[in-house]
Amino acid sequence: MKQIPRIPKLTALPKPTLPLGQAALAFLLSAARLGGAHVPFGLGMISAAGAKLPGLFCLLGAAVGAWAFLDFQTALRYLASGILIFSVNTAFYDTKIYTRPFFRSLASVAATAVVQFLYLLERGAASLVVFALSLAVQALAADLFQSFFTRQPDPVRRRKGWLLLSGALCLALVPVQTVTGFSLGRALLSLPLLLSVSLYTPTQSAVVGFCAGLAAELVGAQPTALYGVLCGCGCAAACLLKPYRLPSALAYCLFAPLTAVLLGADGVLTCLWEALGGAVLFLLLPRKLFPADAAEPSRHPAAPRRTPETSTPLKGQLEQSAAAFRDLYDSFFRGTSPAPPENPSVIFDHAAAQVCRSCVLCSSCWQQNYNTTYNAFNDACPHLLRRGQAQAQDFPLYFTSRCVHLQDFLSAVNTELRAFLLRRQYHQRLSQTRQMAQEQYAQLGDLLSGAAAATEAMSTSHPLGYRIGSALRPREGGSVCGDQLAVFEVGSTVYLLLSDGMGSGENAHREAAMTVRLLQQFLKAGIDPAPALKTLNAALALRGESGGGFTTIDLLALNRSSGSGELYKYGAAPSYLKRSGSVSRFTASSLPAGLQTDSQTPAYTRLSLPGSSFFVMISDGIADENDDEWLQNLLAGWSGNDPSALTSLILSESRTRRGLQDDCAVLVLYLPGPEKGGRTQV
């Protein structure tokens, strides 16, 4: 099947939001008149720019253009309409109705109608029709030109805005004609018309061409609808052949003058040259301005091409998303430094302004003995900051002996000191919260990178079998256990997870269960353990500010294809690996999740689990770093191969040695030898 590409569309259009660009556009658009007395495109630009500086710059540019291109009365009405439009935008800027998409267009039309209508009452119906057409053009311009002042505009609307803008500038050049009647503006107008056919159906293109041709006629002294019909027929013919760039341009060049011949109009040759000029410019546009899929049709049959959305792999999309979040973090947050802390000297400045200003010794203390006074404040500052309250003995004797309002001064200092300490505490918490929020952007990039890596196919041709033994036991007198555990698979990786909530009882159970559930969701979504743990730690830290607790995390990620694993620990108890008669102990120095402030990737230990080996995870209710020699001896002497039996033995021995003082959790993984493959569920 032959692939038919779409007609080229301009891409990567610039955004005219610089002040000089705004003023220049409004200046140039002031030359585009309809009916000799209406300037809809300039007023549309003022309306689209809105309030504040953009609208002001457009108004200033329009004012200069009015005196350059218009007669006195037309310029006066034009400026009055522009000032009224800018005033309406400014008045409604802080209201909800201002954000509605139709507001600026309706406000622009209403303001212009109020100013212009009185001048048209005594004129004929033709003037009123032209005025109504100019108001419609003005509303359209105000609507489409708003895409120039929007941070994230709709690409199609913005392209239409650029085409309308270029058409308006071409209309300003319509009066520039040769002796034979060839109009530079009409020739240039063919270029945006040819570019616009890619956005519309043939019927819509015919309407657009008719309106553009009619507007070009309205610029002249004796407007007719003939040129509108010619442009409409040419655009419709070009739209029918729009998949082909050259035939589309040739169709426009031929059908416009052919229509003039059929209608018996004069100036057929002039119409041909004007259409040909725009078509040549259309064909000469550089290829880089068009998207890659806008190439000429291939002469050989080709298979249907997939759209970019379906041809881009999921892994590539996730990697691009991750790169975007990392770039956002690098661009806005990396390298930034917090604001310097407030100087404690403001305490004394504010207190002195309240007390010393009316004192009879003010000039003596603050002019003649200025350095001595401030030295006294510097000596007292460390004491009152440490204590949180100012006392007379904090100040030197030479200051307190000559201060006639000492008690009032101390009272004012204490008031300012409390305010200063509250501000300092607020800024510290704000800085910590901001830093955590900043880190979330970097962590989102890491999460998406991990998810991208998880989309790759993983070899599981000969996965290792495993068996699991696990148990939970609440402390003495408790009904629920504050420790939680989970075992689950993601692809060829099996995860062992154990979490110990702070304290015991319902609160600890809730914290540990939430940690296990959230981390399990991250890992099952294909996110790597390191970014998942980092994100969860940041979330728990934010939650801890509102009264939440913290939890320990013990996580083993074991690749069943190779037997290699990674062990992550956030404040967790030791873990043990038993191979034959040897036992290895694994510990970590990190704090529990929610207390760990390091923004770097969590540390982990690489290990390899051969066949016939045991891996044991425990909570601190079983043993800790200072009291686990008995557990190492028990594991070294164990000769069985049942992980459930080993779990029961560890619980029993722990109860004998430590009682039931804390919640207990045991998780045992056993990798059978080659002849004992298989697994059992938890």
586: domain CATH number is 3.60.40.10
Q: Are residues 71 and 201 in the same domain?
A: no
Per-residue pLDDT, 457:
42
Query: CB-side exposure of 643: number of CA atoms within 13 Å?
Result: 25
Q: 546 and 473 share a domain?
A: yes
- Please tell me the distance from the alpha carbon of residue 508 to that of residue 114, in angstroms, as a whole number: 71
**What DSSP element (H or E) covers 144?**
helix 125-144
- Using CA atoms, how far apart are residues 187 and 195, in angstroms rounded to an integer? 14
Contacts of 609 (CB under 8 A, 6+ apart): 558, 563, 564, 565, 577, 615, 669, 671
* 599 backbone φψ class: left, alpha, beta (φ>0; ψ -120 to 50): alpha
The neighbouring-strand residues paired with 605 are 567
Q: How many CA atoms lie within 13 A of 230 on its CB side?
A: 33
Q: How would DSSP label each residue in 449-500?
A: HHHHHHTS----SSPPP-EEEEEEEPPTT-SS-SEEEEEEEETTEEEEEEEE
Cα 78-83-84 angle, rounded to 5 deg: 100
Q: What distances in angstroms separate CA 257 from CA 262, 265, 615, one per listed residue? A: 9, 9, 87
- 649: Cα within 13 Å, side-chain hemisphere: 18
User: Which pLDDT does position 603 carry in this prediction?
Assistant: 77
* 664-671 and 613-618 strand pairing: antiparallel
Q: For residue 303, is it within any domain?
A: no
CA dihedral sign, ordered 245, 249, 250, 252 = positive
Q: How many angstroms separate the CA atoms of 580 and 592, rounded?
A: 32
535 burial type by CB count under 10 A (0-12 exposed, 13-18 middle, 19+ buried)? buried
Whether 164 and 283 share a structural domain: no
Give the number of domains in the chain. Answer: 4
Q: Sheet holding 551-559: strands in order across? A: 483-490, 493-501, 551-559, 564-570, 604-608
Which of the listed residues 269, 295, 321 is the one where a domain comes to its end?
Answer: 295
- Establish if 62 belongs to a structural domain: yes
CB 653 within 8 A of CB 635: no
With respect to residue 401, please indicate whether it lies within any of the assigned structural domains.
yes
Task: Establish if 301 belongs to a structural domain.
Answer: no
What whole-number distance in Å separates Cα of residue 237 and Cα of residue 251?
6
Report if residue 300 sits inside a domain.
Answer: no
Q: Which of 456, 481, 497 is the last residue of a domain?
A: 456
The Cα–Cα gap between 32 and 541 comes to 61
CA distances from 611 to 374, 460, 468, 615, 682 (A): 76, 17, 14, 11, 19
Asked if 123 and 158 sit in the same domain, the reply is yes
What is the total residue count of the chain? 682
Query: Both 601 and 468 in a single domain?
Result: yes
b/e map 457-485, b = 16+ CB within 10 Å = eeeeeebbbbbbbbbbbbbeebeebbbbb
Q: Nearest 5 degrees, angle CA 511-CA 512-CA 513?
A: 95
CA angle 580, 583, 588 (to 5 degrees): 145
Pick the closest to residue 229 from 260, 261, 251, 201 (CA basis): 260
Same domain, 434 and 511: no
Question: How far is 551 from 159, CA to CA, in rounded Å?
Answer: 54
Q: Is the domain of 336 the same as that of 447? A: yes
| Alpha carbon distances (Å) from 36 to 45, 88, 134, 219, 412 | 19, 26, 11, 6, 72
- The dihedral over CA atoms of 354, 421, 385, 595, expressed in degrees to the nearest 10, equals -170
- CA pair distance 508, 481, nearest whole angstrom: 8
Residue 224 shares a structural domain with residue 252: yes
Which pLDDT does position 612 carry in this prediction?
A: 86
Question: Phi, psi at residue 498, to the nearest 5°?
Answer: -135, 130
How many other C-beta atoms can be found within 10 angstroms of the C-beta atom of residue 50? 21
Q: How confident is the model at residue 329, as a pLDDT?
A: 56
pLDDT at 438: 62
pLDDT on residue 132 = 80
Q: Are residues 535 and 406 located together in one domain of the fold?
A: no
Answer with the one of 109, 144, 168 that is the final residue of a domain. 168
Q: How many CB atoms lie within 10 A of CB 582?
A: 10
d(CA 520, CA 485): 10
Residue 671: φ, ψ to 5°: -100, 105
State the pLDDT at residue 485. 93
DSSP letter at 661 equals: S
Residue with tokens 């007292």: 380
Same domain, 258 and 341: no
Task: Residue 103: give the domain boundaries.
Answer: 1-168
Q: How crowded is the C-beta side of 204, counted as CA atoms within 13 Å?
A: 6
On whether residue 302 sits in a domain, the answer given is no
Could you tell me if 74 and 142 lie in one domain? yes
Mean pLDDT of each 10-residue bin along the chain, 682 residues long: 38 52 83 78 84 84 85 82 86 80 82 77 72 81 78 71 80 74 76 79 80 74 63 79 75 70 66 75 66 38 38 57 58 58 83 85 83 85 85 86 86 88 81 67 62 51 79 88 92 91 85 89 84 81 63 91 89 90 87 71 84 91 88 90 92 87 92 58 38
The answer to the question of residue 681 being in a domain is no
My answer on whether 182 and 145 are in the same domain is: no
